[in-house]
Structure 1
Amino acid sequence: MAAPPQALVNRNKKHFLGVPAPLGYVAGVGRGATGFTTRSDIGPARDANDVSDDRHAPPAAKRTKKKEERRKKKREKRLREELERYRQERPKIQQQFSDLKRDLSKVTIDEWKAVPEVGDVRNKKQRNPRAEKFTPLPDSVMARNLGGSPLPQSILIQDWQSNKHFEHFSGMLTPTGDMDLRKIGQARNTLMDVKLSQVSDSVTGQTVVDPKGYLTDLQSMIPTYGGDINDIKKARLLLKSVRETNPNHPPAWIASARLEEVTGKVQAARNLIMKGCEVNPPKRRFMARSGTVRIWIKAADLELELKAKRRVFRKALEHVPNSVRLWKAAVELENPEDARILLSRAVECCPSAVELWLALARLETYENARKVLNKARENIPTDKSIWTTAAKLEEANGNHHMVEKIVERAITSLSTNGVEINREQWFKEAIESEKGGHVHCCRAIVKAIITCGVESEDQKHTWMEDADHCVNQGAYECARAVYNIALQTFPGKKSIWLRAAYLEKNHGTRESLESLLQRAVAHCPKSEVLWLMGAKSKWLAGDVPAARGILSLAFQANPNSEEIWLAAVKLESENKEYERARRLLAKARGSAPTPRVMMKSAKLEWSLNDLNATLQLLDEALRVFPEFAKLWMMTGQIYEQRNDLSKAFDSYNSGLWLEAIRIEIRAGMKDIANAMMAKALQECSTSGILWAESIFMEARPQRKTKSVDALKKCEHDPNVLLAVSKLFWSERKISKCREWFQRTLKIEPDLGDAWAHWYRFEQLHGTKEQQEEVKQRCLAAEPHHGELWCSVSKDIKNIGLNTEQTLLAVAKEVAIPV
């Protein structure tokens, strides 16, 4: 049964409808509202005593914003307080003058008028006011209207604009006013008509004056100067005043003449110049009144006679007695006696001028010069040149024992006076002393200065650098002094003895070299090269017995030395003492059987044309030294000489690839030679002589590639570098060829083949100077090795040739590369 309608209504009715609101209820608070108030309401909807509901607190962002606003207010307040405090401590300028500004209210009208204008302190015109100036119209405007036809107004206005500083014209208004410029031109025309009428003929209506011609003449008389006439008058008066005040002032006369010249008055300018020359005859009178040293010297230069020049300098020294330049110039014009007198006075006026003291000492006698230098040391205790001059003076007068004492005292005195002892400057002084011929002085300086500022462990290295520097400067006596001190400190150093020996060999005498070598072998008896240098020096001098004596002493000190044995053999063989050479080689084979000794023994027999004895010695040597390639080569060459090619091939094939390859090439078997070369390069990949040979076995297009491969394998081999030089020669690359020759000989200066090829190259492509340079460098290097070089130098026909003769002979054998 369905419920009645009334029951449905009661069931849907809300239970809070019609019920009083609970205590503290605020409508809408559940939706986040805090009251329903308007601007017209007196207060908030919520009572002040109501309990707050934290569930509906304001968002955090709003709280943060309020907090920031409070901080901002505090910060601004703090800034205002700091600014006020800063202003109180450092008030503005206007605040500092605030009390004075208040006092301005008490200033009267008369006081205000007495206040000066701005700039009164600095502006001279405002401090001295003058009457207002009225400047007439420029003559350029008047000249333009002389022709009778007025100029356009725009041109006149431009002329006025170029003279804006003129404000009045005879009481008229300025161009900025209402003045009509055309009327000015008409007035000028009227004025010209009046003047023409005055000079006209008495006949009425007729005249003998041509108006156009007269105006043309007037135009030609106008000066070319375009400035103001009043300015010219002022300048003329001013220069006249200068001339009258100081007639001996040439620039005033010159300026006056120049002014007249500019304004077109040439004759007046001439008159002024002539009168100025009368008042000031020569220029030197004007210069004599000046204290400038340069002007005095110029005045002396203007004089043509020597006597007049002396007079000018003596007059100059009266006005400028402390000028060193004037004293030196004056002394140069005097004879020695007068110069000595002048210098005596000069050192009194200029006691700190070292050059004057030294010049005076040079002109004095020995005793007086010593006194002069002593006075100079008293006046200038910090200059070393006075001490060195004193040392040179003693040396020049034969007091060599005093030279070293003076130099030592100089070092001590200068150090005491706070002067830094600079080794480089003192070495420079020593070099200059040597070049001036003062040998004892340079030695004393080197001895006194060589140890200054050098640690004991750096002495040898530093002293060798000092010696090299002296040699480069051409100061060989200084270098000798350095070596002597170094040898006293390091007597057992073979390298220092060798350096000193080479210095004597290149720049000394034979006696000095031999004396040094005698001392050297006494301290270094085991040094073979020192013994050999001594023996060679005696041999070159033609003293063969002395050379034998040195070598015998060398044998005693070095009984098993290969170099000494071979040197003795060479001495005997080149002096045609072949039996002595044979006996020496036999002893050498017994005591020092080295490959070179065996080879030299066979070479001696070969040179004497005893081929059987040569082959016997070679067979004996090959059994002991089968790896020595030159023995195999010699054997093959002897068999070739006998026309026994099969044995020659076997010999080359057994010991040396290169000769075997060359035999195939000479036989025309190029393919076999290429195959052998390829195999040889595989087995001996670092053999420079094989790579050098392989380059020219290739066809021309492939030679460059082959040379690159050779350089990769043997970068620093002289044979490869020589082959590359020849390759550039074949390609006619002159500069590169010369560069590679130099590179080759820098690595191996003992390679005679390179010297011969370079000399031949310069004979074909160089100058006489370049040929001579190569020859001299070759003589200095004294080469001994090289296949072509040895084939000529060791030929029995060429025994006794020196280095120069060998170079010329080998150069003839050089084949031009193609």
Structure 2
Amino acid sequence: MSVRRDFLSQPAPENYVAGLGRGATGFTTRSDLGPARDNEEAIKAAVAKRQAQLGLIKDGKNDLDLDDEDDGRYGDPDNEVGLFAGGIYEKDDEEADRIWKEVDDRMARRRQKWREAREKAEREEYERKFPKIQQQFAGLKRALEAVTEEEWANLPDPKDLTGRTKRARQARMQRFYAVPDSVLAAARDQGQFGTTVVEDGTATEVNKDGTVTDFAKIGAARDKVLRARLEQQSQSSGIATAGSATSIDPKGYLTSLANASVGEQSIGDIEQFRKMLKSAVDSNPKQAASWIAAARLEIAAGKPGAARALIAKGCQHCPKSEDIWLENIHINDNRNAKVIAAQAIQANPHSVKLWVEAMKLENDVRSKKKVIRRALDHNPTSEALWKEAVNLEEDPADARMLLAKATELIPESLDLWLALARLETPDNARKVLNKAVKKLPSSHELWIAAARLEEQLGEGTKRPVMKNAVKFLAKQNAMPKREEWIAEAEKCEEEGAVVTCASIIEETLGWGLDEDDDRKEIWMEDAKGCISRERFHTARAIYAYALRVFPNSRSLYLAAVELEREHGTKEDLERALEKAVEACPHVEAFWLMLAKEKSGEINEARKVLARAFKQNPDNEDIWLAAVKLEADNGHVDQARELLRTARQNAPTDRVWMRSVAFERQQGNPQAALELVQDALRLFPNAPKLWMMKGQIYEDLGKIELARDAYSGGVRAVPSSVPLWLLYSRLEERAGNVVKARSVLDRARTAVPKNPELWTELIRVERRAGNLSQARALMAQALQQMPRSGLLWAERILYLEPRTQRKALITEAIKKVEDDPILQVTAARILWAERKLDRAQNWFERALLLDRDLGDTWAWYYRFLCQHGTEEKRKELIAKCVLNDPRHGEVWQRVAKDPRNAGKKTEEVLELVAQQLGQAV
């Protein structure tokens, strides 16, 4: 056998580097470079030889030339050398940097929209391609509802594969041994103890391990903690002492005792902290923080005397520390505190905090003034001391003299200048502010104060203070950002300076923006932010400025009108609408809103509509508004004449429909029938005209003619869902359920995947008593339209047992999150379960989703009639009138009934609530 060396005796492999596997790096030693006494040529030769071995010598030229200097590309720009070594960062450089920064910011804002849109699209695409595990298995989890209990019980047990894991291998390696009885006996006796009473009457505990516990010391420590708590409570408001009697509020005492920090710390902890702080003080007696901590510990432990002694000793070691003197003053009574304050000031005559604390220790104003004046002798340039001195003066003249002296000594103090300007007369205040501007040329607060002064004098609109301010600050390169100016305007509005607020916005809102920016959108966002912070005057000023830049902007005028409607007076709203109709005379919406605001005065409303006719002679909305105005005020003949003229000048289907509806409301079915016949010859594809024709025949009791009208309507306009519904309901009311079902089947063929048609078919089957067929149709409908809130509501409320409603509504809301019909359904279920607060929250949520759905308002109103207050009902009615809902399954049927013509929104709300109650 050949003799083989062991591992450590074998030679290392070629190119082996020790520690390379652990992340170690190589290094060069002196042996690699040669002897230290070699000259420079020898060192260079050694380095070249070493690099040649590494393959770094190419074509006879050394790539690592020791004589080459560092590449300038890797230099520090903040540590310039060479040409720029002596450069100075001047104002021109600062201005250039600021301009380049503004350019970068503007370019970033311009690209922000596109960048955010691109990121959003990428994120949605990623989520679509790589859905979460929860989303992938959502359908499988829902399918587990169909698993029966027997199938669950027959599921096979999983195999035990833990034997292959590392933890299992380690468990197999463990070995267990039998435990001797002596170990078990020792463990049993470990928690036991014996109590003996010695001759002196003290109780001790003798443990099995030989230690002894003295119960007397434990009791003394407990008494000490209680005494400390009582002393601390006596210093607060919990204990009141009168003579020799002490009264304790039990409730207050227990509350404060629960919050006391001493109660949370044991005596052993306090002793440990005391030793640690004593060691810190002894090791470094010049550190004031250690002395302060030690004194506070004694205060917490209920030893104020020891705390005073410690802090006094600390003051001797740290006489120049303000904090330790202040702590000493605070833990002593007033008499001793004055002596300590005098010693502290003697050691620190230029400490403002100590002078102010000494002033607070005095009881009378005269003594306070004396202390402050002595303090000013030592610290004449302290702004805080001058403010304290001014606050002590009761005479404005004396305060004015002090402020004049203070501004001479501290000309850079903005607060002192503003205070002096407030105390001076208006003429002198102007002089003071002018002088302050010279001392503080970069302060915009002084210019705002000057503008507010002019506003107080009634000359805010005459003197262009803010205009001059912008020019001056721009020249000084001290112009704040536009966001800061808006904040200053809001502050002025909060303090009642409305004119100054508007002046600030007028002069600074366009600062930093050019024509390339989306200025209109930016200003509208600024105004919305002000409205959210309830700064309506600032928002009004922003809209006014934006409208001067964009005088014909319809969106800006709409936003301004909405602001006045929500937060302004009636006069402000009318004024805004007058400006809107002058700037945008061809926008009929402004004319209609202005006429509606003046509807209480019919003559003024007529004048508005007459002006609107001149600007928009053939506009059907204005014609119909004039008809509504006359009809609501009882002028039937004038309304009929206006409609006749409108059919000649603006012959649209809406005008003809309004004419037919007007005659139906006046109780003239024959005239309405003639009008609708004429209208259908002109507009055969208008579904509402066919519906009106059928409804007129129904009112007259001519069912066959009504059926022919609906049948002709669905042939002419097969895509009209309301027309199909009216046709089906006519057949159902006539007792022909089969024909109604046939009509709805044809409708679903003409208009596929329409939830209203499916819901009506399901209701036909349900009203006919075919619940099984209704459930089968519902399953088909939800398979085609799983995100229809109308279908889910119909299934939950009418096709499933009451016990399953909660589970179904939870599943439906997961699939259809923002559907107001489902939200109302959830509220009705909670209402039935007497969970009124939660039901009210769901009603509120449904209103936030869609304020135009009248059925939601009616259900909520019905709920409040049973469980709400009168104030809440009035608030809901006011909101409903303000939003003026127009849609809803029951709401439209009630509101468009000719018998309810002319009823106000609150009356329609009452009628719809009653019908909903009958439907339940």
Q: Which residue matches 2:549? A: 489
Give SS of 2:551's match: coil
> How far 1:488 sits from its partner (Å)?
2.8
Aligned partners of 2:724 and 2:849: how far apart in 1? 25
Is 1:573 equivalent to 2:675 in the alignment?
no
Q: Which residue matches 1:431? A: 490
Deviation readout 1:318-368 (Å, 9 max, x if unpaired): 443433333334433432514333323332343222112111211111112
> How far 1:604 sits from its partner (Å)?
1.3
Aligned partners of 1:277 and 1:713: how far apart in 2? 77
Is 1:590 equivalent to 2:648 in the alignment?
yes
Q: 1:380 to 1:779 in 2, by over 3 A?
A: farther
Aligned partners of 2:409 and 2:469: how far apart in 1? 26
Q: Give the alignment partner of residue 915 of structure 2, picking from 800, 813, 818.
A: 813
Aligned partners of 1:704 and 1:301: how far apart in 2? 82
> How far 1:387 sits from its partner (Å)?
0.6
Aligned partners of 1:481 and 1:717: how far apart in 2? 48
Give SS of 1:728's match: helix
Aligned partners of 2:918 and 2:566: how far apart in 1? 34
1:718/1:747 contact within 8 Å kept: no
Which amino acid in the other structure matches residue 487 of structure 1?
L
Q: Which residue matches 1:731? A: 829
Q: Percent identity?
A: 38
1:343/1:359 contact within 8 Å kept: yes
Q: Which residue matches 1:82? A: 33
Q: Which residue matches 1:505? A: 565
Is 1:681 equivalent to 2:748 in the alignment?
yes
Is 1:254 equivalent to 2:309 in the alignment?
yes
Give SS of 1:395's match: helix
Q: 1:672 to 1:786 in 2, by over 3 A?
A: same
1:759/1:771 contact within 8 Å kept: yes
Which amino acid in the other structure matches residue 636 of structure 2?
Y
Is 1:613 equivalent to 2:677 in the alignment?
no
Give SS of 1:400's match: coil
1:599/1:618 contact within 8 Å kept: yes
Q: Which residue matches 1:480? A: 540
Q: Which residue matches 1:361? A: 421
2:793/2:822 contact within 8 Å kept: no
Q: 1:316 to 1:475 in 2, by over 3 A?
A: same
> Mind listing any 5+ residue stretches in structure 1 that lack a counterpart?
1-67, 69-77, 91-223, 239-249, 260-274
Is 1:789 equivalent to 2:867 in the alignment?
no
Q: Which residue matches 1:406? A: 465
1:585/1:597 contact within 8 Å kept: yes
Which amino acid in the other structure matches residue 854 of structure 2?
G
Give SS of 1:488's match: helix
Q: How does 1:642-791 map to 2 (within 5 A)?
A: 642-655=700-713, 656-664=723-731, 666=733, 673=740, 676-685=743-752, 687=754, 689-690=756-757, 693=760, 706=781, 709-710=784-785, 712=787, 721-732=819-830, 749-761=851-863, 763=865, 774-791=876-893
Q: 1:772 to 1:472 in 2, by over 3 A?
A: farther
Q: How does 1:297-336 map to 2 (within 5 A)?
A: 297-336=356-395
Aligned partners of 1:561 and 1:280: how far apart in 2? 86
> How far 1:716 sits from its partner (Å)?
14
2:646/2:655 contact within 8 Å kept: yes
Deviates more, 1:610-619 or 1:379-388: 610-619
> Mind listing any 5+ residue stretches in structure 2 that lack a counterpart?
1-13, 15-28, 42-270, 286-304, 315-331, 714-722, 795-815
TM-score normalised over the length of structure 1: 0.61
Aligned partners of 1:631 and 1:325: how far apart in 2? 82
Q: How does 1:236-251 map to 2 (within 5 A)?
A: none
Q: Which residue matches 2:529? A: 469
2:618/2:649 contact within 8 Å kept: yes
Q: Which residue matches 2:430? A: 370
Q: How does 1:284-303 map to 2 (within 5 A)?
A: 284-289=341-346, 290=348, 291-303=350-362
Give SS of 1:352's match: coil
Q: Which residue matches 1:204? A: none
1:569/1:584 contact within 8 Å kept: yes
Aligned partners of 2:826 and 2:628: how far apart in 1? 38
Q: 1:701 to 1:688 in 2, by over 3 A?
A: closer
> How far 1:659 sits from its partner (Å)?
2.0
Q: 1:691 to 1:402 in 2, by over 3 A?
A: farther
1:407/1:444 contact within 8 Å kept: yes
Aligned partners of 2:333 and 2:623: how far apart in 1? 98
2:360/2:368 contact within 8 Å kept: yes
Q: Which residue matches 1:60? A: none
Q: 1:253 to 1:451 in 2, by over 3 A?
A: closer
Q: 1:693 to 1:441 in 2, by over 3 A?
A: farther
Structure 1 vs Structure 2 CA RMSD: 4.5
Give SS of 2:667's match: coil
Higher relative contact order (CA 8 A, sep 6+): 1
1:707/1:724 contact within 8 Å kept: no
Give SS of 1:814's match: helix
> How far 1:446 sits from its partner (Å)?
1.4
Which amino acid in the other structure matches residue 600 of structure 1?
R
Aligned partners of 2:783 and 2:418: how far apart in 1? 66
Give SS of 1:462's match: helix
Larger Rg: 1
Deviation readout 1:78-110 (Å, 9 max, x if unpaired): 9858321477789xxxxxxxxxxxxxxxxxxxx
Deviation readout 1:122-173 (Å, 9 max, x if unpaired): xxxxxxxxxxxxxxxxxxxxxxxxxxxxxxxxxxxxxxxxxxxxxxxxxxxx
1:687/1:714 contact within 8 Å kept: no
> How far 1:303 sits from its partner (Å)?
4.5
Aligned partners of 1:772 and 1:705: how far apart in 2? 43
1:692/1:710 contact within 8 Å kept: no
Which amino acid in the other structure matches residue 404 of structure 2?
S
Give SS of 1:456's match: coil
Q: Which residue matches 1:632? A: 690
Count the aligned residue pairs: 574
> How far 1:754 sits from its partner (Å)?
3.6
Which amino acid in the other structure matches residue 341 of structure 1?
M
> How far 1:279 sits from its partner (Å)?
8.2
> How far 1:397 sits from its partner (Å)?
0.6
Q: Give the alignment partner of residue 619 of structure 2, picking from 561, 573, 576.
A: 561
> How far 1:617 sits from its partner (Å)?
1.8
Give SS of 1:378's match: helix
Q: Which residue matches 1:206? A: none
Q: 1:652 to 1:455 in 2, by over 3 A?
A: same
